[in-house]
Amino acid sequence: MRFYISIIGLLLFSPKSFAQNSPVFSNFMFLKQVYNPASVGSEEMLDFLALYRSQWVGINGNPSVQAFSIHSPLTILNSSAGIFATNEMQGEERVTSVMLSYAYRYPFKKGSIAFGISGGIMQRAIDGSKLRSPGGNYAHGINHEDPLIPDNLSSGITGDVNLGVYFQTKKMYAGISANNLFESKIKLQVGTLESELKNPRYYTAVAGYRVKVGRKLYLIPNVSIKTDFINIQPELNSILQYKDNIYGGASFRGFAPDLKDAFVLMMGFKIFKNLRAGYSYEFSLSALNNANSGSHEVYIRYSIRIKDLLSPGKIIYNPRNL
């Protein structure tokens, strides 16, 4: 059976239900702009990043997500801007969002502090024709025998806002953000009934520090904490980086006995001057560990310093005799 009813999808179709928070990323230290709009342009680079994640491989209907972002500092008002998009699949449910971000950065002697806002739209859709209920009749078409399960594609759209603060120096960064600030709701029509999905507000805190441990070797611990003040999901990782060319590290997500999620191994390298790639593999530590073969996440990132883009370059005079 196809994810047997797509249990997660069915649970969404109660008169009122709470939607999942945003996707989890092992490489959160490279995707801070997805959670915190104040972090856009913080590295003084025009930055492009594309990421693919496949979670709990081996489970039919396992979650997968694609993410893409572009952000850059602007040449006016000490500000930055960016755009990011995510597309997540869980069973027969799809969640797609596109957000625009803006940040104002106040520089001081040893670093800067930024304040940011992002706003955009989110669409949720469930393909009811691919769901199967235990009491349904599928011999001659789609008949779930349940008025809360759609017979075809049902979708809805809404908008929301994120706010953030981000502080950084040459050696460290720290930020906190409020996501889904307005707790917007998406309404899905199922026959004559209407289901309402709420996007709960949650908060994200991130921090990292760069320590030189050798002539060309750096240790970079990073921490991420997400919470809605009911549940909390902490993640701690540590990366060992050689020069600016290659890194390897490990991460642990979820520390409470009933919230342990994954142990992660990660690596990344520079392909050439402005192009990098990274990969992580997760060993599941939850009750699903016997039902899947782990999770994979891969990204590619292109970044170029704004100063290099704006500089006129070397002028070569080439006089020619006629």
Q: Is residue 319 part of a domain?
A: no
Spatial separation of the C-alpha atoms in residues 223 and 33, rounded to whole Å = 15
Is 40 among the domain residues?
yes
Number of domains in the chain: 1
Kindly state the tokens that stand for 30: 């490279």
Q: Which of 69, 58, 131 is nearest to 97 (CA)?
A: 69
Give the residue ranges of the chain where pLDDT is below 50. 1-20, 321-322
Is 265 contained in some domain?
A: yes
The predicted structure's pLDDT at residue 6:
42
CA 247, CA 310: separation in Å to the nearest integer?
30
pTM of the model: 0.84
**First vs last Cα of the chain: how many Å apart?**
80
pLDDT of 303 reads 94
Q: What is the spatial distance between Cα 36 and Cα 28, in angstroms, rounded to a whole number?
A: 11
Rounded distance, CA 44 to CA 80, Å?
Answer: 9
CATH of the domain at 99: 2.40.160.40
* pLDDT for residue 40: 96
Is 188 domain-assigned?
Answer: yes
Residue 142, domain extent = 4-310
Question: Does 318 map to a domain?
Answer: no
| 156-to-95, 96, 126, 184, 190 alpha-carbon distances in Å | 10, 11, 10, 12, 11
Within a domain: 246: yes
* pLDDT score of 128: 77
Report how far residue 28's alpha carbon sits from residue 290's, in angstroms, rounded to the nearest whole number. 26
Q: According to the model, what pLDDT value does residue 7 have?
A: 39
Contact between residue 219 and residue 237 where contact means Cβ atoms under 8 Å apart: no
Does residue 322 form part of some domain?
Answer: no
